[in-house]
Amino acid sequence: MLLYIARRLAWTVVVVLAVVFVTFFVFFKLPNGNPALRFCGKSPTPECIQLTTARLHLDKPFYIEFGYFVKNFFLGDENGWPGLGYSYGNYVSVRSEIIERAPRTLWLIAGAATIWLTGGVAIGVLSAVKRRRLPDRLAMGFALFGISAPVFWLGLMALFIVWKELHLTGGSGYVPLSDGVGHWLSHLILPWCVLALLYMAIYARLTRNNLLETLGEDYIRTARAKGLPERTVIFKHGLRASLTPIVTIFGLDIALLVGGAIITESVFNLQGLGWLAFNGAETQDLPTVLGVVLCTATAVAIMNLVVDIVYAFLDPRVRYA
């Protein structure tokens, strides 16, 4: 098992370095102008270009420049110059902006993922066990509504009804956890539920279909013939075998939401990484876009590692493949 995890970890490091290299090549080495000019903004001065060229090591060989880029991205240089430079709009270091906004997105994803995974799997199991009965019809009707309803509409309706009319939550905007758990939770509960509804519907349908297919296998009939309780048959033998595709899409969904929850963040004014990426692309803020791209790609690679490890626990045959 440890050897399996070590191999997957080494492969993840290789993938992250490959992503960093491709990103570096696209932004620094393609024939689209001097990177120092872009990093100095719309009105560069000779002094700024000279200083940026030295700090980004653009006057050194390719491999040395890339080595400094990797080092500066994670650690910064000895003079405090961040590896991604400064935002064009407010001249704040991109790393500090990412560090400031990442908790907003990560808390949003963590809460929503907990809701949609537990709720979606529970609804899917109930629907599969009560196939073609009233609970199944209600569950699939809920899934159809969740998939069909636009996230921005759900967010606006939730704000209007729950916050403005009923005054049950704190409304839009982000409140740090240091301001109090209750205050923090009141501002995040609506975004969690709205973002989770779409994914919960998808996971419910996927769980239902996978579980129904698994319950038709020969080993399930054998387990029932041996007299095992139906609860054991469903949860220990059926559900565990049908969770593999759920784990796959769960890891990818979480990773892609790191920079892709722009609609939810905009509706609820959270201004996380998704909003930062959109704003950077709209204003052609190269350092900001570069930072979010690297963070999102790294998150995808790390979540793939987590999925591979979970696979090994769900199905021991995977670690020997």
Which two three-digit tokens encode residue 287? 């350092």
Q: What is the pLDDT of residue 114?
A: 92
pLDDT of residue 111: 92
How far the first Cα of the chain sits from its last, in Å, is 12
86 — phi, psi (to 5°)?
-120, 150
Task: Give the three-state DSSP class for 109.
Answer: helix
Task: Give the chain's length.
Answer: 321
Amino acid identity of residue 186, one-letter, is S
> Where are the chain's structural domains?
2-75, 95-320
Of 196, 194, 143, give the one whose Cα is nearest residue 169: 194
Mean pLDDT for all residues in the chain: 81
Residue 169 pLDDT exceeds 70: yes
pLDDT tens digit sequence for 73-128: 666 554 444 456 667 666 777 778 888 888 899 899 999 999 999 999 999 888 88
Q: Taking every pair of C-alpha atoms in the chain, what is the biggest distance, in angstroms?
A: 82
Model-wide pTM > 0.75: yes
Q: State CA 249 to chain mean position distance.
A: 11
- DSSP string computed for 44-101: --HHHHHHHHHHTTTTS-HHHHHHHHHHHHHH--TT---TT-B-TTT--BHHHHHHHH
Contact 163, 171 (CB under 8 A): yes
The answer to whether residue 36 scores a pLDDT higher than 80 is: no
pLDDT tens across 18-30, in order?
888 887 787 777 6
- The average pLDDT across 246-263 equals 83
Give the confidence band of 192 by pLDDT, cuts at 50, 70, 90.
Answer: very high
Contact predicate 270/108, CB 8 Å: yes
The one-letter code for the residue type at 270 is L
> What CA–CA distance (Å, rounded) separates 267 from 264?
5
Confidence grade of residue 42 (pLDDT, cut at 50, 70, 90): low
> What CATH fold (topology level) applies to the domain 95-320?
MetI-like fold (1.10.3720)
Backbone angles phi, psi at 245, to 5 degrees: -65, -30
Contact 261, 104 (CB under 8 A): no
Question: How large is the average pLDDT for residues 185-207?
Answer: 89
Distance CA 104, CA 150 (A): 22
Distance CA 255, CA 251 (A): 6
**8 A C-beta contact, residue 116 and residue 203:** yes
pLDDT at res. 219 = 84
pLDDT digits (tens, 9 = 90+) for 219-238: 888 888 888 888 888 888 88
